[in-house]
Amino acid sequence: MKKNILRAGVVVAAAAMLIGNLAPAQAAYQSNGSFGALHLYDGSYALTSSGTWAGQVVGSASATASDTVLACPSTSTGAFTFLSTSANTGTPASWNAKAPLTFSSGTKNILQPDLSPASQVNGNADGVKTNGGTYNLGVACTSNSGVTLQAAFFRTITVTAGTGAWTAAATAVESTGTSLPTPTWSVTTVSAHDGREAGSVWVGDVLTASKAQPAVFPADYTTTFQWKRNGNPIASQTAATYTVVDADGYAKISVDVVYTAEGTSVTKTSSQTPMVLGGSAVLGGTVTMSAGVSGISNGFLELSIPANAAASFGASTIENNYSVTRGTLGNVQINDTRWITTDGWDLQADVATFVSGANQIAKSNLGLVPNVVVASTKATGVTAAAGTVAGTATYPTAIASAAKNADLGETGVTVLNANLTLRAPRATVAGTYTSTVTLTLATK
């Protein structure tokens, strides 16, 4: 009874529109694989994207009129409404459920097909309602007594298990071009060439583009052409044919076909021809470069001294009636990764009085001569100071410096050491004397 009410409503409410809207309308391949857009209308002839299992819903090719017919291909001999998983949509024998349709008189058009899931009376629609899941619901154009699918207009719906309530995904023109054909080209030989091989292309030949469209193809696409030389567009060459010119010598030619429907354009590209023969041109071209650059932080300045660092002294000797002890400070490292500001730095040393119990040796008796450990230093612009002389030394004293704006190298690492000489005054009491060296690093 509901079905009859629906059809009566179409006749009465839409009578004024039927003359204008019964013309076939067909849109581009949809992103779900549908042959064209299928718009759904409820029992009040309002666009809808959801419904109940037995609720009234009809299909139309138009988003503005419920009575715009779906146009099956001319090769179709029958039609059905159907409910199927995506994997089985192309195989009528594997649909979950279906119901037969009839064409409008004298045409291959379908007017307002009843798409209520409950109306798919042949098959196992109840199983879909019980289990729920994702299915395709729509209209199939068939041949060979319903065995062969010519085209299918459908929406992808999600069915709620138990109630059968459903929600349809939105219509969307396929933007990736998966369903669109790949164009081809053919060559017409204009003049003979000695030793010409089959399949070769010469200057003067005419290339013809083929959209390679199958017999069953959505009608609403508009197409344009663009011929290319080595992948670059050839100016003003947008016809279906192209005459090979001298400038094409030693190049390869291809053609783009741009398919446009409902404001969406998709480009499909043919294979390239073999290298064009018979030309005298020497071709040039440009290569566009686009390289990303990552920002770096300015980095840091630090002085790194090993834990429990201790200078290394040898045994004392008597030289010119003085007790002299020589040693080395040990490596210390400066890390300067301020690659943006490259401010430079200064390192200085101060020495404490040498002490052995109640006895002392003044720090002026320690000579300290710094040096750069070249093998371990990556920074440049680093200079060691002249140092001090045992007996006349003054502290604090400069150890080394790095010039402003110097190249820090890959790591900004500087390694320093120093030669030490302790010359004790002649009246100094024998013993082991200890002291400390304090290093201070400052930016310039």
Residues 142-158: pLDDT tens digits? 999 999 999 999 999 99
Kindly tell me if the per-residue pLDDT of 5 is higher than 80. Answer: no
Contact 54, 129 (CB under 8 A): no
Q: What is the pLDDT of residue 153?
A: 97
Task: Name residue 378's amino acid.
Answer: K
CA atoms within 13 A on the CB side of 297: 5
Low-confidence winner among 19-23, 111-115, 391-395 (lowest mean pLDDT) = 19-23
Q: E strand or H helix at 159, and its extent?
A: strand 148-159
Residue 53 tokens read as: 């299992």
* Beta carbons of 143 and 150 less than 8 angstroms apart: yes
CA distance 301 to 413: 10
Q: Residue 126: enclosing H or E segment and its boundaries?
A: helix 125-131
Residue in the structure block whose two tokens are 């990736």: 176
Q: What is the pLDDT of residues 51-108, one digit of tens each?
A: 999 999 999 999 999 999 999 999 999 999 999 999 999 999 999 999 999 999 999 9
* pLDDT (0 to 100) of residue 24: 55
pLDDT for 195-204, tens place per residue? 778 889 999 9
What confidence tens digit (pLDDT) does each residue in 209-267 have?
999 988 888 878 899 999 999 999 999 999 999 999 999 999 999 999 999 988 899 99
- Confidence at 191, pLDDT banded by 50, 70, 90: low
Which of 13-22, 118-127, 142-151, 287-296 has the lowest average pLDDT?
Answer: 13-22
Q: Is the pLDDT of residue 170 over 80?
A: yes
Q: Residue for token digits 């009246």?
A: 427
Confidence of residue 281 (pLDDT cuts 50, 70, 90): low
CA dihedral sign of residues 151, 157, 160, 161 = positive
Q: What is the pLDDT of residue 199?
A: 84
**Across 320-384, where does the E strand assignment appear?**
322-328, 332-336, 345-351, 354-356, 359-361, 366-372, 382-384
Its pTM surpasses 0.85: no
pLDDT band at 193 (very low <50, low <70, confident <90, very high): confident
Return the pLDDT at 436: 94
Torsion of CA 335, 339, 340, 344, to 10 degrees: 50
- 414, 372 in Cβ contact below 8 A? yes
In the chain, the percentage of residues whose pLDDT exceeds 70 is 93
Which residue segments constitute the domains of the chain, with CATH numbers given? 2-168 (no CATH), 184-191+198-269 (2.60.40), 301-443 (2.60.40)
Task: Tell me: cis bond preceding 113? Omega within 30 of 0 counts.
Answer: no
**For 341, which DSSP code?**
T
Query: Alpha-carbon distance 208 to 243, whole Å?
Result: 9
pLDDT computed for residue 96 by the predictor: 97
pLDDT, residue 198, reads 83
Q: DSSP assignment, residue 63?
A: S
142-145 — which CB contacts under 8 Å span 24+ positions?
142/76, 142/77, 142/78, 142/79, 142/80, 142/92, 143/75, 143/76, 143/77, 143/78, 144/77, 145/77, 145/78
H helices, E strands: number in the chain: 3, 31
Structure tokens that stand for 320 in this block? 């010119």
pLDDT in tens, 315-351: 999 999 999 999 999 999 999 988 888 899 999 999 9
Average pLDDT of the residues of the chain:
89
Q: Could you tell me if 372 and 400 are in contact, meaning their C-beta atoms sit under 8 angstroms apart?
A: yes
Q: Average of pLDDT values for 397-411?
A: 89
**Cβ neighbours around 18 below 10 Å, total:** 13
As a whole number, mean pLDDT of residues 304-313 equals 90
Q: Which of 426, 437, 294, 281 is nearest to 361 (CA)?
A: 426
Amino acid at 132: G
Q: Cα–Cα distance between 151 and 146 in angstroms, integer?
A: 12
Mean pLDDT of 270-297: 81
Q: Assign residue 6 a region (left: φ > 0; alpha: ψ between -120 and 50; beta: otherwise).
A: alpha
What pLDDT, on a 0 to 100 scale, did the predictor assign at position 284?
A: 59
Task: Flag the least confident range among 70-84, 126-140, 181-195.
Answer: 181-195
Instruction: Quote the pLDDT of residue 333.
Output: 95
Given this model, what pLDDT does residue 25 score?
56
The whole-number pLDDT of residue 380 equals: 87
Which pLDDT does position 230 carry in this prediction? 95
**pLDDT surpasses 80 at 438:** yes
| Whole-number Å distance between alpha carbons of 304 and 441 | 10
Contact 414, 333 (CB under 8 A): yes
What is the pLDDT confidence band of residue 282, given thresholds at 50, 70 and 90? low
